[in-house]
Amino acid sequence: MQRLLTSEIVAKVGETVTVAGWIHARRDMGKVAFFDLRDREGLLQIVAVPGELGDSAEIANKVRSEWVVEITGVVQARGAKQINDKLKTGTVELLAKSVVVLNESKTPPFEIDKDTRPVNEEARLTYRYLDLRSERMQKNLRTRSAMFQDMRQYLGNEGFIEVETPVLTKGTPEGAREFIVPSRLHPQNFYVLPQSPQQFKQLLMVSGVERYYQFAKCFRDEDQRGDRQPEFTQLDLEMSFVEREQVMQLIETMLIDMVKKYRPDAKMQQVPFPHMSYKEAMEKHGTDRPDIRVDKNDPNEFAFLWVVDFPFFEKTEDGGWTFTHNPFSAALPEWRDKLMNKEDIANIITSQYDIVLNGFEIGGGSIRNHRPEALRSVFEIMGFTAEQIDEQFGHMLQAFEFGAPPHGGIALGIDRVLALFQGEANIREVMAFPKDGNAKDHMMGAPSPLPEKALKEANIKLA
């Protein structure tokens, strides 16, 4: 018989149906046993009475939590007193006629019919596939998928196309240390994993794509402070022929839509989102990502804030200059001459905008330098020689010589957005297979040593 989902059972009172899933819990009440059967839709109460089960009576007696079963039975309406409002299927139950065991299960290392947050982190990550069976983690995964779909739809309606960019690529100077991948075919040479698709998305603007987005995996080999992950996901986008206000407006509208849909209970402190200059943020709040909630203990308060007008450059330890956010950014129009003339460097303001939610930076972007001279000027201010500029960024400068349109974009740290929406303190809770706080994957056992042969092929000699 064709398998039905537990949610489909509600409308089948009186019919004989087959369901399949995991035994979530079992309660033995003398002769009768009750199982909660779990599938991707939720739970269904199964009633196992030996007299109704024929040959399956013995099997029903044996099944335990997390065994995988297929159960055929008759759907019965529950009496008024037995109705369970908390379950989607709370108005019915299935009187089992046959039970088939599809697979047995060992006793799980922790209880997965409860919130797993109090469970030891290492155990949760080692048995992540079991952790993900828990209701809260299922909800986080499903919300993530649904939100991604809504974002895709929103951006599609706005004329964006989704383009994948390479993961094996060349380094890009955006401030983070990069993971390096040795090339077997080109000894002594390396790819790096992208810390963001920044250069590719700008090159797509030169290609005439005009509106690009991607749910991009980004890799940063940083010390694991706090809630960082070595790989994470950005909703990365870029648009041609826009000013910064248009990029900000596009993202703001999308975020408002998402709050309304996924957190209808939440109140947004201010819409349209307020803007604050970097200077004001630092002077009034002592941080460039102020938490402007009125009540910081209210889990339903969402305080979005745009922080703008950042200095383009800051002094390095050796007295030179480096960028504060993104070397590909343009200065604000009134500062463009100064950038070209390399004057008043400390005061040049970048077009960078950061979006902050409840004190967390959830994204940032800028309008870019689309003229090669302006981009060259940024690298010159940072002390690069002409050779270094050509060696590292020659491909960008060359591309910009072929009619690069004005463009700008933004990237949202989508794991953080989801964590905040789901009321989770840690981004690991909204990722399927995260690393631990020390960048280790306990389930797969990564990172791990490699056999000598593999190292040799990759031209690696261990020190």
Choose between 324 and 459: whose C-beta lies nearer to ligand ASP.
324
Q: Check residue 369 for interaction with ligand ASP (CB under 6 A).
A: no
Q: How far is the CB of 408 from ligand ASP (least distance, A)?
A: 8
Binding mask 11-40 for ligand ASP (x = CB under 6 A): ------------------------------
Residue of minimal Cβ distance to ligand ASP: 196
Whether the ω angle into residue 109 lies within 30 degrees of 0, i.e. cis, is no
- Token pair 């986080």: residue: 140
Q: Which of 230, 290, 364, 434 binds ligand ASP (CB under 6 A)?
A: 364
| CB 236, min distance to ligand ASP, A | 6
Q: How far is the CB of 129 from ligand ASP (least distance, A)?
A: 31
What is the spatial distance between Cα 107 and Cα 85, in angstroms, rounded to a whole number? 29
Rounded to the nearest 5°, which phi and psi values hold at 182?
-70, 145
For the bound state, the minimum distance from the C-beta of residue 369 to ligand ASP, rounded and expressed in Å, comes to 12
Which is nearer to ligand ASP, 119 or 251 (by Cβ)? Answer: 251
Residues 79-98 touching ligand ASP, rule: CB under 6 A, are: none
Q: Which of 134, 196, 351, 358 binds ligand ASP (CB under 6 A)?
A: 196
Q: Are 248 and 265 in contact (CB under 8 A)?
A: no
Q: Which of residues 288-347 bind ligand ASP (CB under 6 A)?
A: 326
CA distances from 362 to 3, 11, 64, 217 (A): 42, 43, 43, 15
* Calpha distance 48→33 (Å, rounded): 5
174 vs 178, beta carbon nearer ligand ASP:
174
CA distance 356 to 255: 12
Cα distances from 332 to residues 25, 32, 329, 348, 413, in angstroms, run 61, 74, 9, 8, 24
Kindly tell me which of 45 and 350 has the beta carbon lying closer to ligand ASP: 350
- The reply to whether 165 sits near ligand ASP by the rule CB under 6 A is no
Q: Draw the binding track, 371-410, toward ligand ASP (x: CB under 6 A; -: no contact).
A: --------------------------------------xx
CB of residue 410 to ligand ASP, shortest distance in Å: 5
Residue choice 42, 173, 290, 365 for contact with ligand ASP (CB under 6 A): 365
Using the rule CB under 6 A, is 431 a contact of ligand ASP? no
Contact 26, 33 (CB under 8 A): yes
Instruction: Tell me: does residue 366 bind ligand ASP (CB under 6 A).
Output: yes
Residues forming the site for ligand ASP (CB under 6 A): 174, 196, 198, 326, 364-366, 409-411
